[in-house]
Amino acid sequence: ALQTLGKLEAPTLASHTAAILPLLADGDGDVRQAALQTLGKLEVPTLAPHVAAILLLLADGGLGVRQDVLQTLGKLEAPTLALHVAAILPLLAHEDRHVRQAVLETLGKLEAPTLAPHVAAILPLLADGEWGVRQAALQTLGKLEAPTLAPHVAAILLLLADGEWGVWQAVLETLGKLEAPTLALHVAAILPLLAHEDRHVRQAVLETLGKLEAPTLAPHVAAILPLLADGEWGVRQAVLQTLGKLEAPTLASHVAAILPLLADEDEDVSRAAMKMLRRSGWGGVLQMSWHARGLTMALAGYLLVGPFPAMGLGLGAHFGLSLLPTLSARKRRHDDESQQQSSHKRARVHAAGKWGSG
């Protein structure tokens, strides 16, 4: 019968909703799943009043049923969902973690002004025993406008001591939504995570610090610079992007630390280093002197080829001899790749001509 009903057009199916709803509690999992799938064919306004009944099935033992619940809820739009928040909120206290998490994710679809009055109901789940629920609570709070979120920073920061990296990442993403002046008040709590063993956390901390105003960021450069030698290229790139938020004179004073990354094994990092050096105004480069083991050379003439863009004719810099072999190898590799691409192109043209003449 459900399969037959599922073939009906949505307006016709709507008149049979009352007969379908009891089947969500049927003893047979296949029937429950079929009922969900049939309800999922309804138009959103018809489906919305039954969100609470659908959410309860997230405690169902069948994975397929839970997946269908989430797929059905995914159809709801924020304005429609807002009308039924009162029916959903009590499920934040449900014993099944799947239900609690899905309720939070559903609330996260609300517009910020509609979500704001329900913050008090969400905050206790930051201490939930299940990390997925804690993460979902953070992500839902992250949908709030910055002024509404700001008073709850202390509760959010406590989760920096959480045992799950996914929760730390959600904390940093949520903090990143704050206005720079508010975020500046909590830098001291964030900085220790620059030494975290997980690269995702280190990278997220750098991205969060990158949201600070330049004068607020400047005093913390000493804590950031060591990560230019991080073993993960994404972290090194994030360091450069964060340093890029500094004023040019401040950035120029750190050129000596940035310069070695021109020879980084990852070309995205080397390009980012070049961008930072350009932005610095080259003041630091022109003043830098490596007399003990360096030489003066015109970078523009040398680096016009390869992955580096032109830097202006006549620009000179003191450059470490230790970088030259790596840069030379990079240039040779670029030349080899260009030659290989040209060969492939000639082969394609020759093949096309051969087929055309046939």
CB 112 within 8 A of CB 144: yes
Rounded to whole angstroms, the Cα distance separating 303 from 300 reads 5
In 3D space, the residue among 85, 72, 81 whose CA is nearest the CA of residue 24 turns out to be: 72
In single-letter form, the type of residue at position 51 comes to: V
DSSP state letter for 185? T
**pTM for this model (two decimals):** 0.61
- Write out the chain's pLDDT in tens, 358 residues: 665 566 567 677 787 788 888 888 888 888 888 888 888 888 888 888 888 888 888 777 676 787 778 778 778 888 888 888 888 888 899 888 888 998 898 899 999 999 999 999 999 999 999 999 999 999 999 999 999 998 898 888 888 888 888 898 888 888 888 889 988 988 988 899 899 888 888 888 898 899 999 999 999 999 999 999 999 999 999 999 999 999 999 998 898 899 889 889 999 999 999 889 888 875 444 444 333 333 333 343 334 333 443 333 333 344 444 454 554 555 555 556 556 666 666 666 565 555 555 5
